[in-house]
Copies of this chain bind each other. A is one copy, B any other.
């Protein structure tokens, strides 16, 4: 691989990069725990130092919270705009906060005392996401060293609240405004199928959740006196949940699939080529069988197909033993994952109509919507995905397969706020224990990631067609 731009650079600084990452990983930047607020702040300062060291300018630790009042955890921003206003501007996204470490007793060593063994780094945050942020910054530093400049303008935004659901991220983007304007977002916070099966995420599902409160009676009724002839709220809720899917596992909401786009033949072929070991999949999920939409593979079901899951269902007595009541109220929580081109608003309308049709008259129903994230997809035919594919192929020797992520993250907010496509250069592996004890990072993946991030900058620099029209810039 000595033809790669950063091969030589990397050979000279692996130890230093690893030592730096280890120092960063010693900071327990757990955003979910207020007791770690100062650690999250230290982590932000550390990240700012990495940005300056990489050659970025205007580096700043950004307070977050309502109006930027600092009640949120700080983000970090840096930029290199030397490519000029005519050139492509790429915004790199990552996060420096980490997940809590519970259950601590399942860790093989202290989560914030990193260890390296057999080419594997172990520590909370090593793969999700400090290692992958470092990978991007190392590539920027390397390309600047090798070429004296970058082929594109680069803005780097490293969030501090990703692990708690990015509560202030949209507000931050709005406040940053033009400062984060870009043509393309590059996210490094995902996984690949395997070291020898490189892959890239090309989409994330959207999400809209509903809370359905049902009331069938003024109060719980005595089942001896009334049972058998009065409506039972638990049964009404159960029947509603049971009606959510037909017997082929398809969501029964009228019109739910109207806007669902089928995969392009290329993407469908790539998805079908992803290796799938059902036994390993079952073991990892800890389930006894797979289910879902008939005629669709597990990857389709979790990535490219919309779903409706019951998140919670609560009604009546839940204590020890039993109680002779007919429950009067029930609460049903559903989460609907959306795929292109479904939109939360249209799905909400269809859902409300479905509920109205399925709940018996005489039952009080209140449907509340929670959240609403549109699905995000960058077509595999998009020039930015082509550029990313070439960069990955140059390093791994194989073109990447395309994956759809079933989740919904801040990437959608980025895409929406910045109006830019999103691509994913993620080098962690499925076995890297994101959010779990013994989080790990395969160092060979990290080093290949640095090389690929460098190649990506080069590839993107050759993509004039990606530059969008913007104020003061005529566009291509």
Contact = CB atoms under 8 A, between A and B. Distances in A.
A387 to B, nearest CB: 27
Interface in A206-239: 207, 209, 211, 216-219, 221-232, 234-235, 237-239
B408 A224 contact: yes
A298 interface: yes
4 closest residue pairs by CB, A with B: A288-B362, A224-B407, A218-B286, A238-B241
A301 interface: yes
Contacts of A291: 229-231, 360
A229 B301 contact: yes
Interface in A144-176: none
Contacts of A313: 234, 237-238, 313-316, 330
Nearest to A331: B318
A335 interface: yes
Contacts of A234: 241, 310-313
Total identical chains: 2
A285 B322 contact: no
Contacts of A316: 310-313, 333
Contacts of A317: 311-312, 333
A231 to B, nearest CB: 5
A384 interface: no
- Most B CB contacts (10 A, CB to CB) among A227, A291, A301 go to A227
Interface in A225-284: 225-232, 234-235, 237-245
Contacts of A122: none
Interface string A384-419: 000000000000000000000111100000000000
B238 A405 contact: no
Nearest to A283: B218
Interface string A282-326: 000111111111000010011001010111111111100111111
A353 to B, nearest CB: 21
Contact of A221 (B219, B222, B285): B285
A338 to B, nearest CB: 12
B322 A211 contact: yes
Interface string A422-458: 0000000000000100000000000000000000000
A302 to B, nearest CB: 5
A309 B288 contact: no
Nearest to A209: B322
A293 B228 contact: yes
A337 interface: yes
Contacts of A328: 286
Contact of A312 (B309, B315, B335, B362): B315
A124 interface: no
Given A223-B311, A235-B310, A310-B235, A229 B371 contact: no
Contacts of A209: 321-322
A208 to B, nearest CB: 10
Given A241-B234, A330-B313, A337 B223 contact: yes
A179 interface: no
B314 A228 contact: no
B327 A311 contact: yes
Given A321-B370, A408-B224, A235 B244 contact: yes
B330 A219 contact: no
Contact of A229 (B229, B298, B362): B298
A286 B219 CA distance: 7
Contact of A226 (B226, B242, B406): B406
Contact of A315 (B222, B228, B310, B405): B310
Given A223-B337, A238-B237, A312 B302 contact: no
Contacts of A223: 307, 309, 311, 335, 337, 406
A205 interface: yes
Given A230-B291, A321-B370, A322-B335, A406 B225 contact: yes
Contact of A227 (B228, B230, B309, B360): B309
Given A291-B230, A316-B313, A371 B285 contact: no
